[in-house]
Amino acid sequence: MLSSLTARELRDKIAAGEITSRQATQEVLTAIDHLNPQLHAYNSIFPQRAIEQAEKIDAAIKRGEKPGLLAGVPIYIKDNMCTNWGATTCSSKMLENFHAPYNATVVEKLQAAGAVIVGKTNLDEFAMGSSTENSAFGPSKNPWNTKCVPGGSSGGAAAATAARLAFGGLGSDTGGSIRQPASLCGIVGLKPTYGLVSRYGLVAFASSLDQIGPMTQTVEDAALFLQVIAGHDEKDSTSWPDAIPDYLAELKTPMTGLRIGIPREYFDVEGMEPEVKAAVQGAIDWYKSHGATLVDVSLPHTKYGIAAYYIIAPAEASSNLARYDGVHYGHRTHTPQDLYDLYAASRGEGFGAEVKRRIMLGTYALSAGYADKFYLQALKVRALIKKDFDDAFQKCDVIACPTSPSVAFEFGSKGDDPLQMYLCDVFTVTCNIAGIPGLSLPCGFSRNLPIGLQLLGPTFSEKTLLRVAQQYESAHEWSKKKPGVCA
């Protein structure tokens, strides 16, 4: 079974001619056929195209060519990244039949690196949610316990990685949508610094917060994927212009003089499960026992993070989603009475309840007489949260804390209370607000469900984050555990 290999190991075996990309791709497609009806990790699968791509890679290797860093590796992308093949739905009826005329920059980079894209994964509609219950096409399920959510919004991506239905892939993170499902599904998820990875071709939710990043089985694979997708893109005006470092070169070099910041605000949160706190504390203690210095840091404006996020993100969503009006593209109602009815009915039929809720919240926050009171105040809080992190990183190299206050919860347990659902992101939203990188990796289990450790760093410190995470991962077996559905 090739599923026991990491993406890097598989790539090396394909390059050495020990196995073919076609074999690996066929094994992944067979696993998808077997498990996707149960997990609904994928919205769409491209078996014929994937096999053709794999055969091209195999032929290139036989000719002695070096087709790229991910040559022959079967992967996925989240279904909110544009491709000029297949549909790009964002798990919404609004875009159910939308076919993009171009590829996202990250898709172009993956293809140039030789990756074989087998399908697009399920998500909360337009990436708005923490459980994948908001998908218009039905929820994804957690491979560790199918009665539980896989997290969101990149829940399908996390489930696909955990169940070995690909060798990793790409998710997007606006307020924790890579890291929270990574925590709940026991995989590695990295939200890069804002601007490090191009957003061109990512369907926008909240443009100042969105970022694409890898979701993988191991830290090394996350570094490998980041190496492929990071870098300047002239098509994205927010793209960072500097050259990127070699994330793999020193990945396994031990850290010396490591200072880990412990934010008290992230450990005294109402509703955090004791087992989560204990597992994260255990990981921190491990770092201390291996030479790290623990430093108490304070992030005093953390308590305003959720409130600020749920003003800024819906405000930007309200603006971004105004383009879906039933005229230009997307869902269009069949029997409009007039132009107003065309707009209203098309949007009413095309958008789900959570998307409508956030559009209304954002529209209200931006409306005349309220923008100063809500939106501009939230932007001021954003600046204070960013300063909190800047001050903390004067004292430490990375910050360690939980990724999620709980392990995966059962379907329906939070759906009737949006505020309880929003609190699932209490440890992740400030990372996006500040634009810094964050990484989640497994650090334990509770009730046979994974627990995630979150590492946060200063802007463009991905190389350090990956090395620190690699230290812990290499000394533990968490990433090697497989959910029962893989048996």
Distance of alpha carbon 291 from the chain centroid: 31
Other beta carbons within 10 Å of 101: 6
93 catalytic residue (yes or no) = no
**What is the distance between the alpha carbons of residues 300 and 403, in angstroms, rounded to a whole number?**
18
> How many residues in the chain?
487
461 catalytic residue (yes or no) = no
Nearest to 114 by CA among 62, 158, 172, 56: 56
For residue 386, give both structure tokens. Answer: 């960013």
Q: Which of 153, 172, 440, 479 is catalytic?
A: 153
Helix spans in 16-91 (H): 21-39, 47-62
**What is the distance between the alpha carbons of residues 446 and 450, in angstroms, rounded to a whole number?**
7
Q: Which of 92, 140, 154, 177 is catalytic?
A: 177
CB contact burial 184-206 (16+ within 10 A = b; e otherwise) = bbbbbbbbbbbbbbbbbbbbbbb
Q: Judge contact between 122 and 40, C-beta under 8 A.
A: yes
78 catalytic residue (yes or no) = yes
Other beta carbons within 10 Å of 477: 8
Which run of H or of E encompasses 297? Answer: strand 293-297
**What is the distance between the alpha carbons of residues 17 and 9, in angstroms, rounded to a whole number?**
12
Nearest to 292 by CA among 261, 250, 266, 329: 261
For residue 208, give both structure tokens. Answer: 């100042």
**What is the distance between the alpha carbons of residues 11 and 89, in angstroms, rounded to a whole number?**
30
Q: Which of 78, 109, 141, 414 is catalytic?
A: 78
Nearest to 135 by CA among 394, 353, 405: 353
Helix spans in 66-197 (H): 105-112, 155-162, 179-185
Distance of alpha carbon 47 from the chain centroid: 24
**What is the distance between the alpha carbons of residues 395 and 220, in angstroms, rounded to a whole number?**
27
Q: Judge contact between 172 and 210, C-beta under 8 A.
A: yes
User: What's 439-476 look like in SS3?
Assistant: EEEEEEEECCEEEEEEEECCCCCHHHHHHHHHHHHHCC
Residue 340 sits at φ, ψ, to 5 deg, of -60, -45
Catalytic residues: 78, 153, 177
